[in-house]
Structure 1
């Protein structure tokens, strides 16, 4: 699933490619991709002749700011956008086609068809159900240390589950949760409310470090992720534990293990992230 760094890479690419262009019309080939409005004819009517003024992001959501509306797009597992000439054959995984005024097309592709698109009036996006409850972005300007510490100390669940909770911090998914916890030397099954002051600060800095590096690297390509230019991310070259089961820990040499925490496959070093933490 694309996480914050991947979605940010898609956003920046789309801004360079289609910002300022008008959408002449839209073709919907799989109705269920459109969450709002439920009437597909109304979706097509509203978006016709809307200009793409800018493209933003909140957590894992793309926000297309149009003349009168905001189009909220959640890529889910394998959604992606492509800019194609209108003479390029349409693939079987293409579900929505936005015809642009310069003759190109913005195509939404999704192998699993899990992605969703909502079209809502401008200036209502922050109150939308998908956005309203999101926590702060994982950057120093919005993720306030004291608030972060207080949030974690209230959580009676594992730190892995807490990092995946989008109401605590927006945009962190399974890959980066594992990498952050490795960086902070915290066992993923540790209860969040048992972390001490020093560990909370270390974790806070690990979040900023890992997410910042991942954004700069254009995200992580594990399977099919590509940005708007068709480029893959490069952060997979920097992964320390995710997907490394059976390999040596880059820090201490211990064999990396995989378990299940928060119902997700979880990679960790049993030495650097000692299970002795769990009895605290």
Structure 2
């Protein structure tokens, strides 16, 4: 499932492609991927300009000039492609928005969705999300306050969207590796210096992953060489049985609260 870096990468790339452009046409091929009747969805989005594209947690918000917002959550298996019809992937497309001769295709939205809301409805929809870990106001003091009475395993806590928004399976493991802390430990067992290190690791890992375009398998557009570029920089995620790049020990995989979890017993304590 795409996490904060993948969705932030999409946001930055799409900002240069479609922000300020008018949606010239709309096609809904799967009603279950939207939250209103397709005729209403099309009527409210067609001939509307994309005023801004924001990200909140793992979701993108496309603000239209009529006051409506398209809320995208790709969930597991969802992805996007932007380009001309002849360049589009040979995949089933659930929704696509046209911008003249170019189109934004939404693919793999079996669990994901593109919902239409009024702006105040979106605020209510997202109100239970925790702080954004890369927000300028998310300080070390704010993080210390957040974890002060937190219990439960570190892995489970990091992927809890009401605790921090945008972190999932991949980057929770990478963050713990960077901090040299086992993700199977409990939050309330962390020493003061470990809390400080965890905070800095959260920000550094997410910033680096965004810089390299996240781990999505498919380019966003023809000639896109950024999307998916972080894969060579991943240290533990999906590397079970491989040698640790830092200490040479074997990477371990186990399940933590029904989630796969990768770590190195050799250098994570």
In the alignment, is residue 263 of structure 1 matched against residue 262 of structure 2?
no
Specify the alignment match of 1:77 in structure 2. Answer: 76
Specify the alignment match of 2:59 in structure 1. Answer: 61
In the alignment, is residue 185 of structure 1 matched against residue 180 of structure 2?
yes
Mapped partners of 1:140, 1:86: distance in 2: 37
* SS in structure 2 of the partner of residue 17 of structure 1: helix
Specify the alignment match of 2:123 in structure 1. Answer: 126
Cα pair distance change 1:154/1:103, threshold 3 Å: same
Cα deviation digits, residues 73-108 of structure 1 (max 9, x gap): 0011122222232456784410112122x2322211
Q: Tell me, yes or no, if the aligned pair for 2:31 and 2:37 is still in contact at 8 Å.
A: no
Mapped partners of 1:20, 1:53: distance in 2: 5
Tell me by how many angstroms 1:16 deviates.
Answer: 1.1
Mapped partners of 1:90, 1:180: distance in 2: 33
Normalising by structure 2, report the TM-score: 0.92
What is the 5 A alignment of 1:142-153?
Answer: 142-153=137-148
Number of residue equivalences: 266
Cα deviation digits, residues 177-201 of structure 1 (max 9, x gap): 0010011111111111221211100
Q: Tell me, yes or no, if the aligned pair for 2:23 and 2:98 is still in contact at 8 Å.
A: yes
Specify the alignment match of 2:220 in structure 1. Answer: 227
Unaligned stretches of 5+ in structure 1? Answer: 275-280
Mapped partners of 1:14, 1:3: distance in 2: 16
In the alignment, is residue 103 of structure 1 matched against residue 101 of structure 2?
yes
Specify the alignment match of 1:93 in structure 2. Answer: 92
Q: Tell me, yes or no, if the aligned pair for 2:82 and 2:220 is still in contact at 8 Å.
A: no
In the alignment, is residue 236 of structure 1 matched against residue 231 of structure 2?
yes
* SS in structure 1 of the partner of residue 171 of structure 2: helix
Mapped partners of 1:95, 1:28: distance in 2: 6
Mapped partners of 1:91, 1:120: distance in 2: 30
Normalising by structure 1, report the TM-score: 0.88
Q: Tell me, yes or no, if the aligned pair for 2:2 and 2:75 is still in contact at 8 Å.
A: yes
In the alignment, is residue 171 of structure 1 matched against residue 166 of structure 2?
yes
* SS in structure 2 of the partner of residue 207 of structure 1: helix
Mapped partners of 1:83, 1:180: distance in 2: 31
Mapped partners of 2:183, 2:241: distance in 1: 18
Q: What is the CA RMSD across the aligned residues, in angstroms? A: 1.9
Mapped partners of 1:12, 1:140: distance in 2: 16
